[in-house]
Structure 1
Amino acid sequence: MLTRKQQELLIFIDERLKSDGVSPSFEEMKDALALKSKSGVHRLINALEERAFIRRLPNRARALEVLRLPDALKVAALRPALKLVAQSAPMPAPAAPRPHPHAMLAANDTITVPLHGRIAAGLPLEAMESDRSLSVPAALLGAGDHYALEVSGDSMIDAGIFDGDYALIRRCDDARDGDIVVALIDDADATLKYLHRDHGMIRLDPANASHTPQRYRPEQVRIQGKLAGLLRRYH
């Protein structure tokens, strides 16, 4: 069951693909649905993808394909209202049609994710909250809710994660052995490590031979998310 906004976005994408052969950009979708930010568009797209109404085309930058539409009567009822909203925002000139009916979303589309302080890639660091945010290329994130953490420490350098990097985390409360996770220990300290279950214990493994694994009872550890990507600034 789709919400009204999800249905409106699905129809808007479908009509742009049919008329121009080009998917609308995040900015166009935001304006057409009268949303305040592109992060709202990202959440709607994730919801449509999870419900198998659209899919992201592999090996193409930000390309979407409409797989199916909701009930025809609902589509007919929504189209007039959606067109009025869409026409209130200026639209760019249509791009030249392409042979394939799908198209790329703008490669420079970004979304804003919460930046929740620093995360230890070493010994556990006190979990920090923050009202800051980070702009992230939308292509780095898949389905789900995400947040960012600034990495502190060197225990994950052999996994390519360095002090000062920004870890992009997909929220979840469970993970498989071998996943790189954000683990909250005793509801106080957070760390970024490989997760392993070892003889009734939780083992958090570093990716640096100079650091030793950490072992905790299962009730001491809560999974806060899995690593989805990294951002790095070069100075």
Structure 2
Amino acid sequence: MLTRKQHELVCFINDRLEETGISPSFEEMKDALDLKSKSGVHRLISALEERHFIRRLPNRARALEVLRMPERTERKASAPAGTPTPTASKGANVRAAPSPANDVIEIPLHGRIAAGVPIEAFEGSSMLAVPAALLGSGEHYALEVSGDSMVEAGILDGDYALIRRTDVARDGEIVVALIEDAEATLKYFRREGAMIRLDPANRSYEPQRYAPAHVRVQGKLSGILRRYD
């Protein structure tokens, strides 16, 4: 038997997976359940794991899988005599296919991008298989990172940067910035007076400053995919 909050959380996770294929964030779960802190979400998730209602998918950020739903037994126990029991044929609490959070999808791989001195962007195009759980909504592409200027943000040489296409960004977001329509770099985006400042995440590098007319945002960082040889 689940507590009310445990019941609410597993239903919320299940609904979000069915709608988007992506597990909700801890912040979204906290707000949905009107909890005061994320620690409460952690406790609820641990309890649901122990009761085998959900499980965390290994090596996937924010990835949860609903193993079973509590409504089946609870509805059967509370239903008046003679009330038909919901069956799988009506799709009640049963997903016919595996959760999309387990899917692997292919996105365009547009060459290499500098996390250091800018280099020419979009050197070609192939496809890269990416776990769907790493991507949010919108159109995405990938770039292979070259350089070490973003190491303090956990972005290493040889990583694949997963980029959501957009031409706008807020201060402090990591973006693909196209400089003078020729070179691209992966940096923190900031406005500094009348200039655009592109900040590295490595104290060995200096910020780069450009007039707004010389910089175009080509996308925002959505995630990082790393190979282990």
Q: TM-score, normalised by structure 1?
A: 0.59
C-alpha change, 1:139 and 1:216, in structure 2 (3 Å) is same
Please tell me the root mean square deviation across aligned C-alpha atoms, in Å: 2.9
Distance 1:188 1:62 in 2: 43
Mapped to 2, the partners of 1:214 and 1:121 lie a distance apart of 12
Deviation string, structure 1 residues 78-102 (Cα, Å, up to 9, x no partner): xxxxxxxxxxxxxxxxxx89xx826
Per-residue deviation at 1:127?
1.3
Aligned equivalent of 2:49: none
- 1:1-235 map, 5 Å: 54-55=19-20, 56-58=22-24, 61=64, 101=93, 103=95, 105=99, 107-235=101-229
Find the residue that maps to 2:112 and give its secondary structure.
strand
Q: What's the counterpart of residue 44 of structure 1? A: none
Q: Which amino acid aligns with 1:135?
A: A
Pair 102,204 (structure 1): closer, same or farther in 2 beyond 3 Å: farther
1:60 and 1:160 mapped to 2: Cα distance? 20
Question: Which entry has the higher C-alpha Rg, 1 or 2?
Answer: 2
- Matched-pair identity in %: 62
Q: 1:60 to 1:167 in 2, by over 3 A?
A: closer
- Structure 2 distance, partners of 1:225, 1:175, is 8
* Structure 1: gaps spanning 5 or more residues: 1-21, 24-48, 64-95
Distance 1:182 1:135, change over 3 A: same
| Alpha carbons 1:111, 1:137 under 8 Å: kept | yes
Structure 2 length-normalised TM = 0.61
